Structure 1
Amino acid sequence: MHGPASPGWLLVALCAATGAYCLLRMRSGVEEQRGAAGGEALMGFGMAAMAVPAAVFSPPGWVWPAYAVVFGAAGLRALWAARSGRHHLHHAVGAAAMVYMAVVMAAAPAHGHAHGASGTPVLTGALLLYFTGYVLLTGVRLIPVVAVAGVGAGADGPAAAGWGDRPELARACRLSMAIAMLAMLLPL
């Protein structure tokens, strides 16, 4: 996105690290984890590439339509997968946001903002509201619940799951990507 270099590099690092962790989650023994992790890795790496500061690399014009096609296909795949689980709807919204940003960036003049003096477009505002709500809800879900003594899986219950199969780590990845999405949508 066309913003200052330091926050752009922080976004690149956050999204690339999240994408790398999601690639590792694809080796999980749990099929549901593997299925979601592939789409999340694509999203993380795509966001990292899109967040590279324009002062460092200004992509050629064909890149933005390519982003729109790739994330449009990812969004359709997520909608198809949503038949089996509603968490795929979030992936579809994320892919739609990436398509939207790619279209806006393709239409934006070089190193300029995507909107004029009229303010924030309605779709940008709706996506900002969605991702803000998602960040708040997911953040609340990450708050640990105090376990009652004698109740639960035992001393090695949570540790028995592989680190790639831990739902709180997957949730933390989704939270970090949603925060990054907010940061990328704000300049639009």
Structure 2
Amino acid sequence: MHGPVSAAWLLVALCAATGAYCLLRMRSAVEEQRRAAGGEALMGFGMAVMAVPAAVFTPPQWAWPVYAAVFGAAALRALWAARVTPNHLHHLVGTSAMVYMAVAMAATPPGAHHEHGGAGLPLLTGALLLYFAGYVLRAGARLLPAAVAASGAGAGAGAGVAAGSVRWGDRPELARACRLSMGIGMLAMLLTM
């Protein structure tokens, strides 16, 4: 991806940390939680690798088709899972966006930068930007009620005990924050295309 080096390293750190947390979430006792966390870990680490500044490491041209194939397989898995659980539709969009970016990087000659000149913003990039901007706003808004409830506003002593008994890897607000981080990362990556 092209963009300022310091922003790229921040994106690498955000995505790698999110991927690492998702790996920890895979230890959950809830099977659906483990499956979702596995896909999110793949996305986090894949985004971290893709965001490494080109000045530091430029993958060989053969890496992009491999990248597209890995995320294409993840997209097919998300499509299959979406027939049962609609929550996987977001995973489908995310993995498809990763395939799109890998194909765009494969089509770019080594050392060249994307130039959108008079053609403007490609339609698919614009649609993905709109989707992820909406997703980030929605995911951020979903975290607000959890933060208010956790602060103790209107909650009794029993609510704190119930929240404390949940393992930190199974906490829904942490999973939402993880998804929000990846949405922000995806938005940043799409902006650099």
TM-score (structure 2 length as normaliser): 0.92
CA distance in 2, matches of 1:149, 1:42: 37
Match of 1:139 in 2: 140
Q: Deviations over 1:29-67 (max 9, x none)?
A: 111210100000000000000000000001100110011
CA contact (8 A) 2:61 2:110 kept: no
Match of 1:69 in 2: 69
Residues 1-188 of structure 1: matches in 2 within 5 Å?
1-117=1-117, 118-144=119-145, 145-146=148-149, 148-150=154-156, 154-188=159-193
Report the AA paired with residue 157 of structure 1. A
Structure 1 window deviating more from structure 2 (137-146 vs 100-109): it is 137-146
Deviation at 1:169, TM superposition (A): 0.4
Residue 156 of structure 1 aligns to a residue whose secondary structure is: helix
Deviation at 1:5, TM superposition (A): 1.1
CA distance in 1, matches of 2:56, 2:131: 30
Please provide the CA RMSD for this pair.
1.5
Report the AA paired with residue 188 of structure 2. A
Q: Identity over aligned residues, as a percent?
A: 72
Q: What are structure 2's unaligned runs of at least 5 residues?
A: none
Question: Judging changes above 3 Å, is the alpha-carbon distance between structure 1 residues 105 and 79 closer, same or farther for their aligned structure 2 residues?
Answer: same
Deviation at 1:107, TM superposition (A): 0.8
Residues matched between the structures, number: 187
Deviation at 1:86, TM superposition (A): 1.2
- Detail structure 1 runs of 4+ shifted over 6 Å in the superposition: none
CA distance in 2, matches of 1:69, 1:14: 24
Q: Deviations over 1:142-188 (max 9, x none)?
A: 003445445x9633111111001001100000000000001000121
